[in-house]
Structure formats: C-alpha cells, structure tokens
Structure 1
Amino acid sequence: MNYTAEAPAVWDAAFAEADDCLLSSDQCVIRGQHYFVKGRIEIPVIGSSEVFSWGVWVSLSRESFSRAVELWDTPGREAEKPSFGWLTTDLPVYPTTTLYLKTHVHTRPVGQRPFVELEPTDHPLAVEQRTGITPDRVREIAAAVLHAGGGERQ
C-alpha cells in the first residue's frame, strides 16, 4: 500500500560526493541551492479504512526548508502552517508527468513524514487524492510499479 522514491528526480549519483549536496532518507540538498523533503501523498482506498501512499520528494524554498530543519525534532511542529512546494517525483503510472505539480507540505508530529497535499487540479493524481481509488486501481499501480522495477515498498 506504500511505494517510495529514493531521491528527487533531479538527483544525480555524482552529487553524492559533493560537499554542497546531501541525500538522506528525509532531506536532500543539491549544490546548496535546491532543497527537498520527503513526504507522503495519501490516497483513500474506496470501501476500505486503508490508505494508499506514495513516498515523494517535494522542493521547498530555502526559508521553508530551513524552518523544517529547525523544527525537525521539536514536539508540536505539526502546528506549523503548510509550506508551498513543487512535486519532484515522477510517478510513471500516470498518463501525464507528475513532476512540478503544485503542493502544500503539512508537517506532522515528530517521527512522521509530512503530508503532501496536491493542488486541486484535473491531473489524475490530484483527482485520485481527492476522490480515492478502488482496490483494483491499487493492484494496477502495484503491478505497474513492480513490473517497471521502480520504487520501493515501505
């Protein structure tokens, strides 16, 4: 019910050795100029109490990223206002790219990944987040992801 991307789409393995780059399980910095956090796009499964989720990367402004880092281990951080971000994970199970969809990143309690809320557009991913998906759609996504060898189960 959960699939995740290892890094933002713009990450290159050559960045791993650079002093101004960082990739951890939750944060990414590229060339000291581009900032990302990992969050979850959650999609209700119709007829179930379960939720399907995508582990995705979202770019944040320097200010928003700095604030997120400052509050990373602070209880009550979920009271922060959401931050604007751009989705930087391409989910190939959709007919049009998911790269650079507009999002709002909602901080959650310490130890939980942020909730990524997509702008309510007609993009199929945004529609699914608003309206939910069927168990058959979950199976279709799982088959496509596993067949492509993309993503990692969480």
Structure 2
Amino acid sequence: MNYTAEAPAVWDPAFADADDCLLSSDQCVIHGEHCFVKGLIEIPVIGSDEVFSWGVWVSLSRENFSRAADLWNRPGREDERPYFGWLTTDLPVYSPTTLNLKTNVHTRPVGERPYVELEPTDHPLAVEQRTGITPARVREIAAAVLHPGSGGHR
C-alpha cells in the first residue's frame, strides 16, 4: 500500500562521494545548497480504512530545513507550523509530471515521516489526495510501479 522514492529526482549517484552532499533515508542535501526531506503523500482508499502512501522528497528552504533538522528528535515537534516545499519526486503514474507541485510539509511526532499536503489544484495526484482512490486504482498503481512501461498514466 505504499511506494517510496529512494532519492530526490535531482540526486545523482556521483554526489555520494562529495563532502557537501548527503543522502540519508530522511534527509538530503546537494552541494550544501539544496535541501530535501522525505515525507508521505497519503491517499485514502475509498470503501476501506486503508491509506495508500507515496514516499516522496520535498525541497525546503535552507532556513526551514535547518529548523526541521534542529527539531528532528525533539518531542512536540508536531506542533511546528507546516513548511512550504516543492515536490521533487516524479511519480511515473501521473501525467502531467508531479515534479515541482507546491506542498506544505507537516511535521509529525518523532519517528513518523512528515505528512505532505499538496496544494489543492486540479493535478490528478492532488485530486486523488483530496477525494481518495478505489481499490482498483491501487492495483493499477501497483502494476505500473512494479512493471514500468506497461501504462498507468492518467
């Protein structure tokens, strides 16, 4: 019931050896300038109590990234205001691209990934986050992710 991107779309494996680059399971910095956090876009599955999650990367300003990092292990961090960010994960089952969609990143309790709220636009991903998806759509997404090139774009 979830899919996760291992790195932001702009990450290059060659960055791994650079002193000013970092990629962990939760945070990414490229050349000391571009900062990203991993969060979840959660989509309710219609007719069930289940949620489908996309594990995605969102770019944050250096100021917000530093603040989030400072609070990373602090109890009560979920009271933090949302951080504005740009989606930096291209989810291949959506057309047009999901890159650079506007988001708000909501910090959750320590140990939980942030919740990524998309700007309420008419982009198919934003619509699905607001309205939910059917179990059939979950299967369609799973097939497209497991077997790229077999369709799945909407």
Runs of 4+ in 1 over 4 A off after TM superposition: none
**Secondary structure, counterpart of 1:53 in structure 2:** strand
Q: Summarize deviations over 1:65-122 as a string: whole Å, max 9, x none.
A: 0000000000000000000000000001012100000000000000000000000000
* 2:137 paired with 1:137: yes
* 2:58 paired with 1:58: yes
Q: Summarize deviations over 1:13-66 as a string: whole Å, max 9, x none.
A: 000000000000000000000000000000000000000000000000000000
Match of 1:122 in 2: 122
If asked which structure has higher relative contact order (CA below 8 Å, sep 6+), I would say 1
Query: For 1:5-154, what aligned pairs fall within 5 Å after superposition?
Result: 5-148=5-148
RMSD of aligned Cα (Å): 0.8
- Scaled by the length of structure 1, the TM-score of the pair is 0.96
**Secondary structure, counterpart of 2:97 in structure 1:** coil
Q: Distance in 1 between matches of 2:80 and 2:104?
A: 12
Unaligned runs of 5+ in 1: 150-154
Identity within the alignment, %? 85
* Offset, 1:148: 1.7
